[in-house]
Amino acid sequence: MFYSGNLGIKQGLPDFVEVFRAAAESWRLRIHGGGVEAQRLRSEQRPGDRVELGPVLAESEYIRALLGATACLVTQRPGVGANFLPSKLLPALATGTPVLAVCDPGSPLGVEVEEGGFGVVVPPGDSKRLRAVLGAWQSEPERLRRASIRAMERAGRYRRETVLQRYEDELSALAGHGGHRSVGAAEA
């Protein structure tokens, strides 16, 4: 499993690592990033640990790691995901990497993962659910293959043209234009 990005408070990664160690006997977790929780994660490393810590990756290394990962981990502490989707979700979708979302199930991230079918949502701290998900992924690799296909299908929803068009439509509606009005580059 692969995680890359900010190791900050809102991700709750140190708490997840504790649950991961208890629930995932045959899985390895590769973490790359930096932030305020990096030192805490390093200080809690153990000899022979299945959790590997590394530095922030260059973009090409990051994409290569995603392509080689069984799954991409995206974590959010309870209560912090009410208003956004994490940016690490989009590269996972584009590379067809299944997602393990550790977050509130009703958060935008949780809803997106469930609706898109490209991964599984595990509530923070739920070691029983984590163990079940990882066990199912290991014993039934077809689940991961289907999630990978769904990730690539879902990636189209976030193409630049699609997203920009949605923004334009929403802004036009807010400005009172009612319908879609295409603008040229000079006007935009």
pLDDT tens digits, 148-171 = 999 999 998 877 676 667 667 777
State the pLDDT at residue 79. 79
Handedness of CA 95, 97, 102, 106 (dihedral sign): positive
Cα gap 170→151, rounded to integer Å = 26
Helix (H) or strand (E) holding 18: helix 13-23
Cα gap 119→85, rounded to integer Å = 15
Mean pLDDT, rounded, of the chain: 88
Average pLDDT over residues 98-126: 95
Position of tokens 């163990």? Answer: 131
Enter the tokens of residue 83. 């208003």
Cα gap 124→20, rounded to integer Å = 11
Q: Could you tell me the pTM of the whole model? A: 0.84
Is the CB of residue 14 less than 8 Å from the CB of residue 41?
A: yes
Confidence of residue 175 (pLDDT cuts 50, 70, 90): confident
3-state secondary structure of 183: coil
Question: How far does Cα 30 stand from its chain's mean position?
Answer: 14
Average pLDDT over residues 88-104: 94
Cα gap 60→63, rounded to integer Å = 5
The total of other beta-carbon atoms located within 10 Å of residue 77's CB is 18
Closest CA to 129 of 51, 14, 1, 20: 20
Lowest mean pLDDT among 13-27, 101-115, 139-153, 163-177: 163-177
pLDDT for 75 beyond 70: yes
